[in-house]
């Protein structure tokens, strides 16, 4: 199994969408690449230190690939938007692909470079410097609270495109 971290605006929607993609084993909502390191891996819910809302994805590389996962991310984001997805605005809603594996970053960069619109894409591809899991209330939030879908930028039908 391998891990990659995808940021696509509000983490609730990204997690609800990506967890159903074939080859995805598990997901966890969290934050990537903030400016501070927390010794206890926790921070106050309102504290913002430059992180991107993201989803940690454990996947089976025999069933899917980084290229496929990044392609799925592009299904649910506006790849040209900077620090904004839907009604969510701010640096924490930027789009990105993060990993501790250089091969994952190379594959993601290759996917973006191969697109006809590559020069317009605002998705960052960076090494994961650190990750903090979100509080329990944010884990699988739209599965537990579907009435909150109106807060998500992803249309309901697309959100569950891969749900069996």
> What stretch of H or E contains 3?
strand 2-8
Sign of CA dihedral 150, 153, 155, 161: negative
Active site residues: 10
From CA 160, how far away is CA 52, in angstroms rounded?
Answer: 23
Q: Which residue carries 């990993």 as its tokens?
A: 99
The answer to whether the beta carbons of residues 53 and 141 sit under 8 Å apart is: no
């Amino acid at each position: 199994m391998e891990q990659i971290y995808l940021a696509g605006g509000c983490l609730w929607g990204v997690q609800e969408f990506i967890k159903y993609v074939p080859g995805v084993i598990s997901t966890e909502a969290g934050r990537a690449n903030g400016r501070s390191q927390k010794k206890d891996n926790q921070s106050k819910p309102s504290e913002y230190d430059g992180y991107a809302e993201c989803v940690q994805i454990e996947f089976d590389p025999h069933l899917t690939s980084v290229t496929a996962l990044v392609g799925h991310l592009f299904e649910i984001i506006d790849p040209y938007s900077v620090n904004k997805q839907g009604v969510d605005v701010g640096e924490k809603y930027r789009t990105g692909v993060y990993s501790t594996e250089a091969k994952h970053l190379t594959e993601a960069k290759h996917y973006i470079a191969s697109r006809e619109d590559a020069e317009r894409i605002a998705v960052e591809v960076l090494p994961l410097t650190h990750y903090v899991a979100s509080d329990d209330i944010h884990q699988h939030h739209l599965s537990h609270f579907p009435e909150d879908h109106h807060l998500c930028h992803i249309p309901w039908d697309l959100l569950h495109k891969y749900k069996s």
